[in-house]
Amino acid sequence: MINFALNQIYLKIMEHPLIATDNYVAFTFFIGTMAMMAAAIFFFFEVNATSAKWRTSVLVSGLITFIAAVHYYYMRGYNLETGESPTFFRYVDWILTVPLMCVEFYLITKKAGAKQGLLWKLIFASIVMLVTGYFGETVDRSHSVLWGAISGAAYFYIVYLVWFGEVAKLAQNAGPQVAKATKYLGWFVLVGWAVYPLGYILGTPGGLFGLQLVADPKAAAHAMDIVYNIADAINKIGFGLVIYVLSRSEE
């Protein structure tokens, strides 16, 4: 029985092409899958051990990393089988996970009086940022500068809300631990999310604002995938860990 189960696992693994030792793109997809899944399992197991007021926040962190792990597993297979960048599926992942990351700001400032209006502002801005980025990267690449500018405007609006707007003001009234956590999350938005425009530059014709960093389009796509994969793992897992530490510091 055990031998049969092991054989089935082996056959399942062999359904996918093996990762070559010099295939750094597929390697980062694999590492991303494992890291996101490990983080999701950790957050899910910790939910019941979390105080009631932070339980939803930790659960959302688990959902973010779980959704990402599933998409990364699929994107890894797609990349290995086709050699192409799974741009469409990456944006499907982002359209689900990035708004959830914005929801975290609402959840941790809710006790300080955050209204649903703030929640919808954050979600709307994140969706605009992603949809326009997708258009510039895939649908209307000839106008990538325009779409990139709109996407960037939505991104900076989120930065403003987190650092100087409603989120920042509410966090100051929610206690020192929430204020500290919000600042850490703000750094992820300001610095961590800023990596994505770099991937956009590498992946669009001529680069954003006419800046051409990589001459070979295929090499540009590979570089873009590596940048996105590393940024995703750091940002999504890091976001969740900040929330987890906050949930323990205020128990």
Token duo for residue 210 = 């006419």
List of residues 6+ apart from 133 with CB closer than 8 A:
91, 147, 148, 151, 196, 200
Residue 152 has a CB neighbour count (10 Å cut-off) of 17
Q: What is the model's pLDDT at position 130?
A: 92
| Model pTM score | 0.83
Candidate from 107-111, 149-153, 205-209, 231-235 with smallest mean pLDDT:
205-209
For 21, residues 6+ apart whose C-beta sits below 8 A from its C-beta are none
- The predicted-structure confidence for 30-69, as pLDDT tens digits, reads as follows 888 899 999 999 999 999 988 888 899 999 999 999 999 9
Comparing CA positions, the residue from 32, 33, 17 lying closest to residue 82 is 17
Domain boundaries, the chain: 2-249
Q: Which amino acid is at 102?
A: C
Indicate the CATH number for domain 2-249. Answer: 1.20.1070.10
What does the alpha-carbon distance between residue 202 and residue 244 come to, in Å, rounded to a whole number? 34
Helix, strand, coil shares of the chain, percent, nearest 5, are: 85, 0, 15
